[in-house]
Amino acid sequence: MNTAGSTVEGIAANPLGTSIDMLCESMGTPRGVWLRLCAIPHGFNISILMALAPELGVDRAEEECLALSKLSIIKTIPKNPVFLPEKTPHVFDPQEDSLVIHSDARRYLFNDWLRKPNLGQFELASARMVDYYDERISYESRVSSAENEDLRIAGKRSLRDPVSRRTGTKEIEHESLWDQRIKAELMFHQLGADQGKGFVKFEKLFGQRRREHRLNDCEHLLKLVHEYDSLLTADCRSRLLYHEAKLALDRRQLISAKSIFHRVLQAVPSHSIDLQVKTWIHLGRIEAEKQNWVEAIVYYDNALSMIDWMDNPGLRRSFTYDIFRDLGVAYRDSGNLEQAEQFLQKSINYAEEVRSLESLAIGYNSLGTLYRKLGDSERAVSKYEKSLSVLNQLNDEFRPAQVYNNIGLTYLDQRLWNRSVSSFQKSLEIKRQAGDTIGQAKTLNNLMQAYSNLGKKQEAIETAEHAAKLFEEVEDYYDAALVVRNLARLYRRTKGRIGRVAANRYYEEALKLIKRSVEDRQFERSIGLMLEKQFVGRKGVLPQESRLLSEVQSIREEINSLNRRFWLPWWMWISIIALLLIVIWFFAPLVPRIFGHPSPF
Amino acid sequence: MTLEEQIRLKNFVDRDYEVKGFSNLLDKGDHHIMIVCGADGIGKTSLLTRLVDECGRRSRRLVKVRYPGFGEFDYLMVMRQVIDALGENYFRPLLDLINYFTVPDYKPKIILELNGSIEVAKSAKFVNSTVGDIIGIKNVQLPPRSDMRVPEEERVIRLSKQFFSDLNAAVAALTADMGNNPMIIFVDDMEKMTESTRAWLWASVLRSVLDSTLKNVKFVLGIHDAPACDQFMEAITQVARLQPLEEGHITEYLNKRLKEVDQSLIDKVVAVSKGLPMTVATMVDSYLLKYPDRRAS
């Protein structure tokens, strides 16, 4: 094997690298090679060392692990660190514990493997690791199914049932943790053995974890793939960037996502048309979220202009109706309703043609909102109901909540208060089941308006209080403040002192919440999180500090107007009466008949 | 403590200034957070091991959070290690919440111990809920439940709130019988956390200290680069930026591990290692492989 020590400029200047090369040299062959091999996986034990160096038997591998565990760059990972005795030292147990190479030392050795002269051996070692993890997965699934069978016979709950998994022993718990790590490690080594196959595996795993909303896991997977940065092909690099941008989007870091998507466009090979189209679409959606409709439409048009170059007709169709729908929504929300209707209708027609139920449901919902904007409430409700029926065919449990909420809003427009209450309640129930706190809070805020219009003041107040509480629970103090302000307005409409006092109280509460929101932003900025610049709320662009301060100003004005009295102070009244008397005294001679004065004429 | 940690302690040299700073953190109330930062291989973990030992000598209660070696190091892993160290009993509400987020059809449960007339959960709304035992779960890294759609952002907020509230209760109970001395939480390998977890930890720790939601706890954080601080945070934070070892300390280290140390060896180690402890240790390892009889007894 070629070592990096003195051959690569820069690496030689790395003191740790030099010392590791010296160490490997002192260890001699084959021990030094085994140490280098152990840097390919993220951790190792006897069985991994045997997989990497098949010439080793169990006893020899155990002996080598013990020897390696004594090196300063190797860390022992005890199987159950919690149960380590306090005083007596825990000695590496080759049967139970794992070993890891210190991260910098491993990085040095791993990067050395990625150098051209070492690639052949590296691919072979990675392929061995793939076989090892493949075997391990099949072994563990066999064990798991055998255990399930035993449990079934014993009439107990299946191990696959998450509840019993959690109530099980420590071993079971560790296995499930292992399952996840094994999959990530398998993907990592697949990348080393065969980049094409490995990258497909990465994308599958990444997609699965995104769908499960496990964004931290996604970040970890990206980190793993980045270890191969120097080897990745242009295509894989641009696809990796694309996934990074999507993760930023999931975290609603729109500025960061936008910048990464632009990097994708620069990095993507010209033949990857589908990646370019997807990137333009996402860029359009980011602008749409920020309500920059003109820019959004430009990006969607760019995507549309590239569609014809795509080879796969199925993909071409699915992108086409997506772009038409996005264009329709952008035109609708920018006020160009006629064009919006054309695009949305086209999108629905395409989706119907290829029986894409999901796109059809979204399309009908968007069209419903368009008709609502046009004031055609009946057509709006009919489109929303069509969307509901398609979602029903899809067995979608969650999205009907949004459609019911939209129906509720349409009934509000029509002043059909009872119907709107019923729709909002349906939406609320689904959101409650789904654990969507912010969604519930938004629907409760709408429901409050319906109750208020129905004259059910108590229900309206309770609903708004509940909405504010939910917003506060998820630390969305700005939206909580807006709901509390609505509550204040509700009380304000109640004449009398009690209403005024309550309204004042809620206005003050709203001010406190906005202040808290500002403080949060300042705190995040001061510790370098910069969330204020990056984060865009679900309602569009999240208010910046300046906008928050203008909200404070407007609430203060409402408080002032609420408390403004038209009663003048006593001294003003006396002054006015005195002035009046003077005026009367002055003009009295002009009207003698009234006051009984003799006429001057 | 592992053998590796014991060896680290035995061969520990230098860092008197940092250890003194830590003693001040333990004894005085001015600082609540100590940040141990420095380049890779500079000896952050060794110093943290030494500080853990210092806590042990002073009979202070402590929690160690560190990178598990491989796999994800995210906020759930941090919580898991703290739960494991302090005991599940203190974290039942948090475990209940984790169950709620991960187990399909799981209904959150509460245990009510009523003593006289009290107003329970004034503004809470319970839907389809029952009162009963909480399922004790240990694996906090399972995927979110498929029958719910709670955004990760919301999960993090709610789990963090519960975690710090439970931690506060645990600290109050556990420090009461140890003279109310603050508990020390050591978090090592922060640079190995995902970026979002690092930001979460830094923000949560600072917030909990600044607004006093977490009482009687001090933190020691081992990280590559010290995070940004404003003047308020600087007032409660003590930063120890580790520097490379000087020749005297390298000699002291060599004398601890080797029998006979001559000046030419010292010169070579100083020149190659540039004072980086990990490099010094690796050079000594390779030297001992060549000359095993030179190992100090």
In tens, the pLDDT along A157-198 reads 333 333 333 333 333 333 355 677 788 999 999 999 999 999
**Gap from A500 CA to chain B (nearest CA, Å):** 24
Mean pLDDT of all residues in A104-132: 95
Percent of chain A with pLDDT over 90: 60
Distance CA A288, CA A496 (A): 45
Judged against a pLDDT cut of 90, whether residue B15 lies above it is answered with no
Write out the two tokens for B229: 């601080």
pLDDT band at B3 (very low <50, low <70, confident <90, very high): low
Contacts of A90 in chain B (CB under 8 A): 1-3
pLDDT band at A258 (very low <50, low <70, confident <90, very high): very high
Mean pLDDT of all residues in A216-239: 94
Q: How many C-beta atoms lie closer than 10 Å to residue A514's C-beta? A: 23
Looking at residue A150, its pLDDT comes to 53
| Half-sphere exposure (Cβ direction) of A208: Cα atoms closer than 13 Å | 11
**Gap from A98 CA to chain B (nearest CA, Å):** 9
Residue A335 per-residue DSSP state:
T
Closest alpha carbon within chain B to A162 = B103
Distance CA B51, CA B8 (A): 12
CB contact under 8 A, A177 and B71: yes
Mean pLDDT of all residues in A103-124: 95
Check CB contact of A466 with chain B, cutoff 8 Å. Answer: yes
Check CB contact of A265 with chain B, cutoff 8 Å. Answer: no
Average pLDDT value over all residues in chain A: 85
- B92-104, pLDDT tens digit by residue? 999 989 888 887 7
CB contact under 8 A, A398 and B149: yes
Judged against a pLDDT cut of 90, whether residue B136 lies above it is answered with no
Contacts of residue A62, defined as CB under 8 A and 6 or more positions apart, other chains included, come to A46, A94, A95
Looking at residue B232, its pLDDT comes to 74
Looking at residue A7, its pLDDT comes to 40
Q: Is B143 exposed, middle or buried (0-12, 13-18, 19+ CB in 10 A)?
A: middle
Percent of chain B with pLDDT over 90: 29
Write out the two tokens for B85: 């160290």
Kindly report whether the peptide bond that precedes residue A30 is cis, defined as omega within 30 degrees of 0: yes
Ranking A225-234, A525-534, B28-37, B65-74 by mean pLDDT, the lowest is: A525-534
Identify which has the larger pLDDT, B55 or B227. Answer: B55
| Residue among B99, B206, B282 whose CB faces A16 most closely | B282
Average pLDDT value over all residues in chain B: 82
Looking at residue B235, its pLDDT comes to 84
Single out the residue in A181, A196, A225 at which a domain terminates: A181
pLDDT band at A91 (very low <50, low <70, confident <90, very high): low
Distance CA A407, CA A401 (A): 10
Write out the two tokens for B11: 């061969």
Mean pLDDT of all residues in B160-189: 88
Q: Using alpha carbons only, give the angle B28, B164, B191 rounded to the nearest 5 degrees.
A: 75
Residue A499's alpha-carbon distances to A174, A457, A492, A505, in angstroms, are 59, 12, 6, 10
Mean pLDDT of all residues in B45-61: 87
CB contact under 8 A, B278 and A72: yes
pLDDT band at B90 (very low <50, low <70, confident <90, very high): very high
- Alpha helix (H) ranges present in A73-194? 103-113, 119-153, 162-167, 170-193
Single out the residue in A181, A201, A224 at which a domain terminates: A181
**Gap from A229 CA to chain B (nearest CA, Å):** 18
Mean pLDDT of all residues in A250-279: 93
**Type of residue at A120:** G
Q: How many structural domains compose chain A? A: 2
Looking at residue B130, its pLDDT comes to 39
Identify which has the larger pLDDT, A382 or A173. Answer: A382
Judged against a pLDDT cut of 50, whether residue B208 lies above it is answered with yes
Pairing of strands B217-223, B62-65: unpaired
Write out the two tokens for B55: 């806590």
Judged against a pLDDT cut of 60, whether residue A36 lies above it is answered with yes
Contacts of residue A278, defined as CB under 8 A and 6 or more positions apart, other chains included, come to A242, A319
Distance CA A211, CA B282 (A): 44
Judged against a pLDDT cut of 60, whether residue A83 lies above it is answered with no
CATH for B13-114+125-241? 3.40.50.300
Identify which has the larger pLDDT, A398 or B13. Answer: A398
Single out the residue in A181, A201, A229 at which a domain terminates: A181
Distance CA B120, CA A27 (A): 68
Ranking A235-244, A292-301, B192-201, B274-283 by mean pLDDT, the lowest is: B192-201
Pairing of strands B217-223, B33-37: parallel
CB contact under 8 A, A166 and B40: no
Judged against a pLDDT cut of 50, whether residue B162 lies above it is answered with yes
Mean pLDDT of all residues in A392-410: 95
pLDDT band at A261 (very low <50, low <70, confident <90, very high): very high
pLDDT band at B151 (very low <50, low <70, confident <90, very high): confident
Task: Kindly state whether residue A148 falls inside one of the protein's structural domains.
Answer: yes
Task: Kindly state whether residue A109 falls inside one of the protein's structural domains.
Answer: yes
pLDDT band at B194 (very low <50, low <70, confident <90, very high): confident
Closest alpha carbon within chain B to A108 = B40
What range does the domain containing A574 cover?
570-601
What CATH number should be reported for the domain holding residue A159? Answer: 1.10.10
CB contact under 8 A, A18 and B287: no
Contacts of B199 in chain A (CB under 8 A): 529
Write out the two tokens for A289: 């979220």
Distance CA A115, CA A481 (A): 57
pLDDT band at A10 (very low <50, low <70, confident <90, very high): very low
Looking at residue A9, its pLDDT comes to 41
Looking at residue A381, its pLDDT comes to 97
Task: Kindly state whether residue A121 falls inside one of the protein's structural domains.
Answer: yes
The distance from CA B191 to its chain's CA centroid, rounded to whole angstroms, is: 12
Looking at residue A334, its pLDDT comes to 94
Q: How far is the first Cα of chain B from the last one, in angstroms, to the nearest whole number? A: 22
| Residue among A162, A170, A251 whose CB faces B142 most closely | A162
pLDDT band at A544 (very low <50, low <70, confident <90, very high): low
Looking at residue A219, its pLDDT comes to 92
**Type of residue at B172:** A
Judged against a pLDDT cut of 70, whether residue A283 lies above it is answered with yes
Pairing of strands B217-223, B183-187: parallel
- Alpha helix (H) ranges present in B28-91? 44-57, 75-86
Cβ atoms A493, A503 nearer than 8 A: no
Contacts of A440 in chain B (CB under 8 A): none
Torsion of CA A62, A68, A69, A73, to 10 degrees: -160
- Best mean pLDDT range from A354-358, A458-462, A527-531, A532-536: A458-462
Task: Kindly state whether residue A506 falls inside one of the protein's structural domains.
Answer: no
Q: Which residue has the tokens 């304000």?
A: A492
Residue B143 per-residue DSSP state:
P
Mean pLDDT of all residues in A17-25: 94
Contacts of residue A600, defined as CB under 8 A and 6 or more positions apart, other chains included, come to A589, A592
CB contact under 8 A, A433 and B137: no
Distance CA B227, CA A504 (A): 42
Distance CA B180, CA B187 (A): 22
Residue A243's alpha-carbon distances to A205, A556, B75, in angstroms, are 12, 45, 22
pLDDT band at A494 (very low <50, low <70, confident <90, very high): confident
CB contact under 8 A, B151 and A438: yes
Looking at residue A558, its pLDDT comes to 85
Task: Kindly state whether residue A62 falls inside one of the protein's structural domains.
Answer: yes
Judged against a pLDDT cut of 70, whether residue B240 lies above it is answered with yes
| Sign of the dihedral through C-alpha B112, B113, B115, B121 | negative
Task: Kindly state whether residue A266 falls inside one of the protein's structural domains.
Answer: no
CB contact under 8 A, A73 and B282: yes
Q: Provide ipTM, 2 decimals.
A: 0.84
Judged against a pLDDT cut of 80, whether residue A64 lies above it is answered with yes
Judged against a pLDDT cut of 90, whether residue A152 lies above it is answered with no
Q: Is B125 exposed, middle or buried (0-12, 13-18, 19+ CB in 10 A)?
A: exposed
Cβ atoms A216, B152 nearer than 8 A: yes
Looking at residue A148, its pLDDT comes to 54
Identify which has the larger pLDDT, B112 or A402. Answer: A402
Distance CA A372, CA A503 (A): 32
Write out the two tokens for A328: 């329709």
Check CB contact of A82 with chain B, cutoff 8 Å. Answer: yes
Identify which has the larger pLDDT, A447 or A590. Answer: A447
Judged against a pLDDT cut of 90, whether residue A390 lies above it is answered with yes
Question: What is the helix (H) or strand (E) element at residue B278, kind and residue range?
Answer: helix B277-290
